[in-house]
Structure formats: structure tokens, C-alpha cells
Amino acid sequence: MSQQVKITRARLHGSPVYLGEMTGPDGTPGPVWSTDPDAVLGWLCDGFRFRFNQRRSVRCRYLTCQDRNGDRVLVTDPAGVPVLVPIGRTVTDITDAQARRQHSFLAAIPGYVLEATLKTEHTEWFSAAKRRKTNAAAGRRPGAMPGFRRKGSDQRFVCWFNGGRNAVFTKTGRRSGVVMISGANPRTHRAPGLGPDGKPHKLGWRITLHVRLSQPIRPYTSVRVNWTRRRLVFVNEPLPVTGKVSTGEVIGIDRGVAHTVADDRGRFYDAPDTSALDKQRRFHQRRMAKSRLVAARQGRRFWESKRYQAHKSAAAGLAAKQARIRDDFAHQLSTRLVRGHDFIGIEKLPVEPMTRRPKPVRDPNKSTRFLPNGAARKRGLNRSMRNAALARLATCIEYKAALAGVAFVEVPAAYTSQRCHQCGHTARENRESQAVFRCQSHSCGWTGNADTNAAINIREEALTRWAAQQSEQLAGTSGEKPGGVAVSQAGSKSKTDPHTGPAPGPAASAMNREPPNAA
């Protein structure tokens, strides 16, 4: 993974930086130089965003229109081929040298910053295209393609390291270091006046970013600077996956709202409560909505005042804090589960369809009215499910299990909460409440936590599916199965023997595992 550090301060060395031609108070344009590190870094971020948007302008999208039914359909030419149009109003396809000549504020920006816009835009665009394809194949919403970077977003830029030619990191202390980004003014725009040594200014300049370290910096290819948040990221290769000690443990987990995760041993893992942050965020959102409503009632054009921008910034900050809390919980819990188990069974939960708004129901007697559809109650449930980050947790477990060689099996969630794991009796009446499960079969009568019962059913179903999959792979190949690793009963990873069959897996030891103590 990349390494992120905190920027503590910035300093400018060398010549004053040429920022381009700007209009003065008298209305006449003139060259501007600056020795303020904050102004220079803001200029670098603006130039990077401007050149990035120029490269993004050459991207195209499929032209759509609305049919008679109100649905969006593709527009095709007479030959039946979908029509492609640019995503923006204008297309700017020029080189960096041409951009420097046409726009004076790009003249002194380092070449490795301008070149980074090409790779950054290309990676962002095609990563989104691949993500859309993956989501569509999994039955999820594809999501939107990225657009232009807005001026009101975070100020950021990227600079290539390129073998030490720029963005050079030097460690200055046990937990401190500096990153030096160098550039030069054009020869035709040397800074006026004399330098500290009494001689004319040279062309070169250097920005020194002081950073606070928490770990050694690994070899990197570029640095990403977010000047708004005072963050710097070293882009480098992820750490190699270390050998995981096999435990032979099997676990089934059930996800929900009351308890974020419940396992088959009766343990519960709850996500941190962010309802207070959510309440504060919705307060700022209501204030923003009220500003727009007042402007509409007064018949004037709405504009973002400083107070509106303050509410907007506060709401965005609270939402980002909630996202960080959810992400931290998902990473910590997924790492704990992967390290402690060799087999993980989880239900395949369609979170996105479950969190959609209910469709409005029109009154058949009066078309202008709508009948109650439970939207308010569903809104609260959707908010709770999104705060639990159920899909994010499953994604973290899946990719970490693949890196660590842990078996990860998803099973359908249907009837796992209604089926008794002891006798197999399935009925809706078995679920007395959200937390209580009481088997209605006269020969069983097992009573316990409903989420724990569902986790046991998920574990058994996952083991059954995993054993069937291994048997199919063994029957279809005469040699080693794909990957060649089986989770053994003793807890060690062993090769599959083509003559004697696969090594005893967790199915052999976990099928007869005693359930948690019944209530």
C-alpha cells in the first residue's frame, strides 16, 4: 500500500516563482512572481487541475436521449452504431509545450508535474471503466464515469520521482523528513531585482515540504500532494504478503444492523456508533436546503454565501469522518478474521438493492395523491445499513483472504435466519424477534440467538459448497487442483494428492462441531 504522511510546513528556496500574467488593479496585465510557499503550492495545484481537465476533455461518452416512456436510450447513426460525443463543451488536444505557450501560468510548472497529468487521467478513466464492468457482472449498479475536476475540490497535484530527478525525499530525523520539488522559471521571465547575495536572481527554485513520519519510507515512483488537507502520499508497491500461520479454524459470519457481524460461536462485532456525526451532518444539510428554499421564495437567484460554504464544508468533513470510521472498522475486523481462520463462510447479501428507496404508490382514486409506502421507516433502515458498511466489510475479507490463501465462500442468504441448525426445520415462526430464535418443531425446540443460528447455517452451507467444489475440481483434473492448496484439519497447508484425493479439510472437522450453548 502507498504511504501517507502529514505535511507540517513548506518553505521556498531560490528564485521567486513566476506565476504567469495576471491583471493588476489598474486593469493592465503583467507578470507576477511570488515567494510565498502557500501561493506557489496553490499555483501548482491549479496548474495540475487545469492540465488534467484539458486531457480529460478528449474523452467521449455515448449520446443518449429520452424515449416516449421516459427511459434513457442510446442514439445511433443510420448504420445502427451508437454515437459518441465529447464529455465536455470543448476539446483541447495539445502537447505540454503548446500548453505552456498558450497559457502563461503553466510556463514555470515543473515538467514532471505536467507529465503526471497524463498517467493520472488515464489510470483514473480506465479504472472506472473496469470497475463499471465488474459491478455490472456482479449485478450491482455500474456507477458513473469520472468527470472534470472542479475548482472547489481539494487542491492537489502529482509529481514524478523518475529516478531521483524530482520529488526527492530526505530523512532529517527519527520521525521527520523533507520532500523537495524543484522547478525553474522561463529564461524570458527571470525574477526582477537582486537576490540575497546581491546578484540577479537565478532561474531555479525549490519547494521543501517538511513531513512527519511514522514508518520508514519505501522506494516510490511519485508523490501525491493534497495541500488542502496537508497530506502527502508516497506511491509505491504494496508490501509482500507474509506467510500466514494456518490455524485450521472455520467460521461462519452473519451480517446485520443490530449486530454488524455475528459468528457461529456466539460472538458479536459491532461497528462504532456514528449516529451523532450523522445527526450533525444532517443539521448542516438542512441549513443548506433552507438557504436554497428562502432564495426560491424570495424570487432571487441563489448564490453560495460564506455561511452556506461553511455548512457545506462542515457536512463534507463529517461525512468523510464517518467514512474513515467505517473503513477503519472494516479493515481491522477483516484482518482479524483472516488471520485467525483458514475458512470463512459469509452470506451473499445484496446490500445495494436492499438500501433502495421504496417506489411511490399513487392513489387509484386521485392521481395527484400518493399512498403511504413506508419511505420514512425505510429511510432509517437504509441509513443504518449504510453506516454498518456491510458491503465494504465483505470486500475487505474477500481480497485479504485471497492474498493470505484463506478459503472464502459466499452462500445465498435465503432462509438462513429461518432454518434451525439443529433439525433443519424452516419456518418464519421460528424467528420470534430480531434476537430470539425458537424452533417450532416439536422434536427440537432449540432456543438461542437468531444471528448466531444464522451464522451456523451459513458455515454449514459454505462447507458443503466448498467440499462440492473441491470434488468437482478433483474429478476434472488428474493432477493438482488450481492453487494446489487445501486447508487441512491439522491447520497446515498441504498439497492435494492426485492419487489419494484432497487432504482432510475443514469440512471434516467442522461438520461435527458443537453449536454454542443453547439458551
Taking CB atoms within 8 Å and a gap of at least 24, the contacts of 185-191 are 185/15, 185/17, 185/18, 185/107, 185/108, 186/18, 186/107, 186/108, 189/18, 189/31, 189/107, 189/108, 190/15, 191/15, 191/16, 191/18, 191/33
- Better-predicted residue by pLDDT, 198 or 208: 208
CA distance 211 to 231: 9
pLDDT bin (cut points 50, 70, 90) of residue 41 is: very high
Contacts of residue 464, Cβ cutoff 8 Å, sequence gap at least 6: 507
- Write down the pLDDT at residue 486: 37
Q: Does the pLDDT at position 494 exceed 60? A: no
Mean per-residue pLDDT, 167-174: 94
User: What is the average pLDDT score of the chain?
Assistant: 85
Closest CA to 344 of 130, 506, 235, 155: 506
Pick the most confident of 135-144, 189-198, 215-224.
215-224
Domains of the chain by residue range: 3-57+92-235, 252-413
CA distance 351 to 386: 9
Q: Does the pLDDT at position 469 exceed 90? A: no
pLDDT bin (cut points 50, 70, 90) of residue 241 is: low
pTM for this predicted structure: 0.71
The full DSSP string for 279-312 is HHHHHHHHHHHHHHHHHHHTT------HHHHHHH
pLDDT bin (cut points 50, 70, 90) of residue 476 is: confident
CA distance 344 to 252: 6
420-455 pLDDT, tens per residue? Answer: 988 888 888 888 888 898 898 888 888 988 999 999
If you ran DSSP here, which 8-state letter would residue 103 be given?
A: -
Share of the chain above pLDDT 90, in %: 48
Task: Tell me the catalytic residues.
Answer: 254, 347, 451
Q: Does the pLDDT at position 500 exceed 80? A: no
Contacts of residue 226, Cβ cutoff 8 Å, sequence gap at least 6: 154, 155, 156, 232, 233
pLDDT bin (cut points 50, 70, 90) of residue 192 is: confident
Q: What is the residue type of 135?
A: N
Contacts of residue 36, Cβ cutoff 8 Å, sequence gap at least 6: 12
pLDDT bin (cut points 50, 70, 90) of residue 240 is: low
Q: How many CB atoms lie within 10 A of CB 120?
A: 18
- Write down the pLDDT at residue 68: 80
337-374 pLDDT, tens per residue? Answer: 999 999 999 988 877 777 778 888 888 888 788 888 88
